[in-house]
């Protein structure tokens, strides 16, 4: 039979993600940094808070509950980050938004207004702004090597799932 | 010891689910990560969790559902080629640094038809329909767009285009 303590444990990770989202909002309003840094900082600060809570409550927590608290927080934060990322760079949603704003638009017009040329220029700008790549004369080089972890992770998954083109 | 056992039990489920996805996608091109499949699993878990008064079971069910939702978000990134990732791939793995050459490779490569591909995905997901020579969004797509616009406004986010 779940007690009040158990119910608190169940809702704690979701409450913390809510807190992290509020912190992200405050960062977006008051701190002049790019959104990704704000998102990561708010996630890490609340994760640290979660670790403190676990440490304080550790005598009354079981191993399963500690695992749940950490795992549920990580998963919910990941879901929140995906939701935040979708309206920014989701190609599928950009096309949806374009059709929503121009009902009855033809395939030709969509491709004329938004094609791979535009996408290339936009992504180069964003990668430069996020300090992931830098420009030297007319060439681009990788600045942030940490992104390779992400790239290789997805390349491995693509190979495992046999995704080609 | 119990902590390690919990993690092991959970890892077993995770790997079963992960390998099932690989098997179905690699050999049959079946993607389990559909909205209604995820919704069905969550509904079944909610009913099971409600009727079986066990905190351990409830915790496991929440974790399992969270993994399923995470997979739902990760799978499109695996199946589709993201433009930004492709640019980084060309710069680092293919050693193409010059902007003109980079653009040429980008347009000729697997992301060159990204807009057309996403259009097809939107059609197959019933988010847009073809009507009298043009596209219009469906009711479900409108709801998604309203939700995402709200997120954009609340968090003061800027999208690439539109």
pLDDT in tens, B16-29: 888 998 999 988 88
Chain B residue closest in CA terms to A155? B78
Q: Indicate the pLDDT class of residue B158, thresholds 50, 70 and 90.
A: confident
Tell me whether residues B157 and A64 touch, CB distance under 8 A: no
What ipTM was estimated for this complex? 0.85
Dist CA A102 CA A97 (whole Å): 8
CB atoms within 10 A of CB B63: 20
d(CA A69, CA A9): 7
Residue range B57-79: average pLDDT? 90
Burial class (CB in 10 A: 0-12, 13-18, 19+), B114: buried
Question: Chain B interface, mutation test: which of A67, A125, A141, most B Cβ atoms within 10 Å?
Answer: A67
Confidence of residue A33 (pLDDT cuts 50, 70, 90): confident
SS3 B46: helix
> Which residues 3-42 in chain B show a CB within 8 A of chain A?
3-7, 10, 21-22, 25-26
Q: Which of A71, A96, A161 sits opposite B128 (nearest CB)?
A: A96
């Amino acid at each position: 039979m779940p007690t009040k303590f158990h119910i608190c444990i169940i809702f704690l990770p979701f409450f913390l993600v809510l807190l992290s989202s509020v912190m992200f909002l405050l960062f977006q309003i008051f701190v002049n940094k790019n959104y990704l840094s704000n998102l990561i900082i708010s996630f890490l600060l609340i994760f640290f808070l979660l670790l403190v809570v676990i440490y304080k409550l550790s005598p009354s927590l079981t191993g399963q509950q500690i695992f749940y608290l950490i795992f549920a927080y990580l998963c919910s934060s990941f879901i929140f980050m995906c939701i935040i990322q979708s309206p920014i760079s989701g190609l599928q949603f950009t096309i949806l938004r374009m059709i929503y704003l121009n009902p009855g638009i033809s395939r030709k017009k969509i491709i004329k207004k938004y094609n791979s040329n535009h996408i290339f220029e936009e992504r180069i700008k964003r990668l430069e702004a996020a300090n992931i790549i830098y420009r030297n004369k007319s060439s681009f080089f990788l600045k942030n090597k940490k992104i390779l972890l992400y790239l290789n992770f997805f390349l491995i998954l693509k190979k495992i799932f046999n995704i080609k083109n | 010891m119990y902590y390690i056992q919990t993690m092991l039990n959970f890892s077993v489920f995770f790997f079963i689910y992960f390998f099932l996805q690989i098997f179905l996608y690699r050999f049959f091109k079946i993607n389990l990560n559909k909205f209604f499949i995820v919704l069905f699993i969550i509904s079944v878990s909610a009913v099971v969790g409600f009727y079986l008064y066990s905190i351990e079971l409830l915790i496991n069910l929440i974790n399992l559902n969270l993994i399923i939702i995470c997979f739902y978000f990760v799978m499109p990134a695996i199946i589709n080629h993201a433009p930004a990732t492709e640019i980084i791939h060309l710069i680092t793995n293919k050693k193409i640094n010059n902007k003109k050459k980079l653009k040429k490779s980008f347009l000729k490569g697997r992301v060159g038809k990204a807009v057309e591909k996403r259009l097809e995905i939107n059609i197959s997901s019933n988010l847009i329909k073809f009507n009298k020579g043009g596209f219009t969004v469906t009711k479900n797509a409108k709801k998604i767009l309203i939700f995402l616009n709200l997120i954009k406004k609340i968090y003061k986010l800027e999208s690439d285009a539109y």
